[in-house]
Amino acid sequence: MKITFLGHACLLVEGGGKRVVIDPFLTGNPVAAAKPEDLRVDAVLLTHGHADHSSDAAGVAQANGCPVIAVVELAGHIARKGAQTIGMNTGGTYDQDGIRVKLTQAFHSSSFEDEDGQVHYAGQPVGILLTMGGKTLYHTGDTALFSDMKMIGERHMIDCTAMPIGDFFTMGPEDALDAAEWIGAKHVIPMHYNTFPPIRQDGERFVAKLKERGIIGHALQPGESIEI
């Protein structure tokens, strides 16, 4: 499995001959390492409805003729933009054509704004357990620390986890250190930091703190990749 960090919480994941993008926020993202039209993917996966995670989902899906996989309320919103969607819910699993997606809980909020600036409910926020080519990535989504991360780690063989460290809107570095330990992944990628001033953090310091706990971390710059 090859994982490329495209900035903020967006990951391009390749494995088993398939490519998916998680939480595409590229248009208007000051640190984005790609443009929506650059992406060639078999599916678009969303953790929640906020614009800094879902804004390019419909466009990327339409350009690639592929589905957006998301919680059912959010999938309905994306479908109204003309994209193909697969609506799921927390705890459910999609497993077809070499792409396995299981949705976990996450503690956050989820909404979208319409053209008039009205805010609408977008279903529950989720984390994503993505398995391709025999490897599993756990993208936690935007979340606070929660104790069931231990259970998720115990019940699944997780090769890599991507988790927010920005604080303010999500868990910060100290909580993320505990989350990484509880999940027990072989590799950890910090995300959702340094995109905007309120979420400034030191990714290298976080990785150093992970090392003190015997955990391998990767503070990827936008455009950088790891293979697991």
Contact 192, 165 (CB under 8 A): yes
Q: HSE (CB half, 13 Å, CA atoms) of 12?
A: 22
Any domain includes 65: yes
DSSP 181-200: HHHT-SEEEEES-SSSGGG-
Query: Considering its fold, how many domains does the chain have in total?
Result: 1
Any domain includes 112: yes
Any domain includes 133: yes
Q: pTM of the entire structure?
A: 0.98
Q: Which domain holds residue 51?
A: 2-223
CATH of the domain at 136: 3.60.15.10
Per-residue confidence in pLDDT tens, the chain, 228 aa: 999 999 999 999 999 999 999 999 999 999 999 999 999 999 999 999 999 999 999 999 999 999 999 999 999 999 999 999 999 999 999 999 999 999 999 999 999 999 899 999 999 999 999 999 999 999 999 999 999 999 999 999 999 999 999 999 999 999 999 999 999 999 999 999 999 999 999 999 999 999 999 999 999 999 999 999
Any domain includes 90: yes
Any domain includes 144: yes
- For 183, phi then psi, to 5°, come to -70, -35
The pLDDT value recorded for residue 107 is 98
Any domain includes 228: no
Dihedral of CA atoms 30, 33, 116, 198 in degrees, nearest 10, equals: -40
The pLDDT value recorded for residue 145 is 98
The pLDDT value recorded for residue 115 is 87
